[in-house]
A and B are shown apart, each in its own frame.
Chain A
Amino acid sequence: MNGLAHQVISGLASGSIYAAVALALVMIYQATHHVNFAQGEMATLSTYICLTLINAGVPYWGAFVITVIVSFVMGAVVERVLIRPVNNAPILTVVGVFIGLLLVINAMDGWIFDYIIKPFPSPFGGGQPMLDGFISSHELGETGVTLIVLLLVYLFFRHTTLGLAMRAAAFNPTSARLCGVRVNRMLALGWGLAAAIGAVAGMMVAPIVFLDPNMMFGILIYAFAGALLGGIDSPLGAVIGGFIVGVLENVFGAYIVGTELKLTVALIIIVAVLLIKPAGLLGRPVQSRV
């Protein structure tokens, strides 16, 4: 039983990462109905920026804040330069641009920072076990940071005028524009926020999985699974879904399929959700007029 509890807790810890990336995906999906295949790569690039800053002597939390700001700007610029021109293009074009972006960032990471796997410092002091060995100090701190980020995002969208404007722009761009919301600016802002959230997830997961250019591939798949499970148009659902996927992944990996097939669990979750309940746990069913 202790073993199961341990698996669940460490599942929740990795689930918090998936929840954050899933939230970033959902934010972009809500605003533009695009799934950002390059979300993981953008987070990896942010993590490299953070590592470079730390190696240059910046204290951890300073580097953390700078990275989040840089990522925000990067996300907004990507939206403005690459994504806006194809906003209303066919799906194939959009997917092509996202995959292109994924390739370019992945190659840039490898080019500038090399392909070797690098350790990444944790601000919560390595992996000492805590609470009878149930959770390492990093897992605890990482979950805390992610939860704070999620809470901040929630407060931002619920209780600020800007958050309201962004929700309006995503919900009904035409009406929002008529009410004086600068929809395009909101889209860029949304991309920036998504990139910033992704950056936090990247910096928090890097001490666990180590940093290399392909670090986020698997995590992105888990995040997709989480977002779909919770409902791809529901931010709360995505967060819940992310945690559920984290737990399922760990428990299945430990007891049923073995750790070597963990990614297949994500694949099965994705297929199962899309077949059984395509709207996800909290999403609205999509109806289209014919």
Chain B
Amino acid sequence: MRDANLAPIGADETQGRLETWRVVAVLVFLAIAIALTFLVSSYRLFQLSMTISYACAVLSLTVLTGINGQLSLGHGAFYAVGAYATAILMTNYGWPYWTTIPVAAIAAGIIGFLVGFPALRLAGLYLALVTLALAVAAPQILKVNALSDLTGGVQGLTTDKAEAPFGLPLNPDQWIYLFCLAIGCIVFLLGWNLTRGRIGRAMMAIRDQPLAAESMGINLAAVKTRTFAISAAFAGVAGALTTIVVQFVAPDSFNLFISIWFFVGLVVGGVASIPGALFGGAFIEFVPNIANDISKAAPGAIYGMILIAFMYVLPTGVAGGLHRLFRRLFARRHRTATAR
């Protein structure tokens, strides 16, 4: 079985346990994240908000590819659905920004469910192909004239900037960042909860041994299509956050490359690691910023080379690498985990 080792991971076995040091680490991380609101410039806050949005998108791939073993090169399409759902509701229907998040999630989730059905019959490479075609076709669909009253056609849509509610003494950038942080926490909590329980084990069983999983009574079709829907919904939330942060959507920002960036983020972070999605998100946001100083073409080249290098050298991503490092440092704690 080639699929059996689709995701050669070290990080996922221990994710379920709620150890004290994990809780402390998460709390410290959150405290730093909140403190940053008041410490850094508006531009940095914008970047951090985008990081959170990208991290949610990478997390959607973590759930789908890393945990469930279904490959997608087209999550930019679901991201676009979420982004457009928010933009359309805000500009055409005057909804407040925060009410659009659930709608964006549901809209993307439904589309994901529909894509998940053909995906059932397609393993590995073919699914990658179909989703790649979806990613290439997405901007064209968004540009269609028939929908341009709704989508703004080629020009796209511009939305209002969110303001802090209840007279809180925050400027819009600070508020948007905190809002993204809160939504990001919810998405990550959902993702983590989903994967550590019974459903998560079913997903992993399907990834590792579909046949054995089926004979154990797991409903393969149901789990796979639902995973696809949930993953698409996460990507939709990520898209909605992006709209709120950038206040602008246009078809050409959802080209093939955005889907590929998510894939790169997934690989860099670590395919089946939930904290890894954060590294992935940060990578997508910050590396092009640094690389753009060299040349317009540099981000693509760097992404590509890093992708190839990770495939050869560090297939478990940054999170997997750190995990291995910690495992070596605290060999006692993880002796049982290495028995696999």
Residues of A within 8 A of B (CB): 33-35, 37, 82, 85-86, 89-93, 95-97, 99-108, 110-111, 115, 217-218, 221, 224-225, 228, 258, 260-264, 266-267, 270-271, 274-275, 278, 290
- Beta-carbon contact of B298 and A93 below 8 Å: no
- Beta-carbon contact of A99 and B307 below 8 Å: yes
- Beta-carbon contact of A92 and B71 below 8 Å: yes
Which among B24-32, B101-109, B124-132 touches the partner chain? B124-132
Q: Of all chain B residues, which has the CB nearest A115?
A: B296
On chain B, the residues within 8 Å of A261 by CB distance are 140-141, 144
- Beta-carbon contact of B5 and A99 below 8 Å: no
A162 CB → nearest B CB, Å: 28
How far is B168's CA from A190's CA once the two chains are assembled, in angstroms? 66
- Beta-carbon contact of B5 and A90 below 8 Å: yes
How far is B230's CA from A201's CA once the two chains are assembled, in angstroms? 40
Q: Tell whether B256 is near chain A: CB-to-CB under 8 Å.
A: yes
Interface 0/1 of B279-308, CB less than 8 Å to A: 000000000000000011111110111111
How far is B205's CA from A104's CA once the two chains are assembled, in angstroms? 35
Q: Tell whether B118 is near chain A: CB-to-CB under 8 Å.
A: yes
Please count the residue pairs between chain A and chain B whose beta carbons lie under 8 angstroms apart in the complex.
Answer: 146
- Beta-carbon contact of B211 and A96 below 8 Å: no
Which among B45-53, B88-96, B309-317, B328-336 touches the partner chain? B309-317
- Beta-carbon contact of B73 and A95 below 8 Å: yes
- Beta-carbon contact of B132 and A221 below 8 Å: yes
- Beta-carbon contact of B263 and A99 below 8 Å: yes
How far is B256's CA from A111's CA once the two chains are assembled, in angstroms? 19
- Beta-carbon contact of A90 and B2 below 8 Å: yes
Residues of B within 8 A of A (CB): 2-3, 5-8, 65, 71, 73, 118, 121-122, 124-126, 128-130, 132-134, 136-137, 140-141, 143-145, 211, 256, 260, 263-264, 267, 271, 295-301, 303-308, 310-312, 315
- Beta-carbon contact of A224 and B260 below 8 Å: no
- Beta-carbon contact of B129 and A104 below 8 Å: no
- Beta-carbon contact of A107 and B301 below 8 Å: yes
- Beta-carbon contact of B141 and A35 below 8 Å: no
Q: Of all chain B residues, which has the CB nearest A269?
A: B133
- Beta-carbon contact of A274 and B126 below 8 Å: yes
How far is B307's CA from A225's CA once the two chains are assembled, in angstroms? 26
- Beta-carbon contact of B133 and A290 below 8 Å: no
Point out the residue from B260, B295, B308 that lies within 8 Å of A97, measured CB to CB.
Answer: B308
Q: Given contact pairs A35-B129, A97-B307, A264-B141, enumerate 18 new A-B contacts (beta carbons under 8 Å).
A: A91-B2, A91-B125, A92-B71, A93-B311, A97-B308, A99-B307, A100-B304, A100-B311, A102-B260, A103-B301, A106-B304, A115-B296, A218-B136, A221-B137, A224-B129, A263-B140, A266-B133, A267-B133
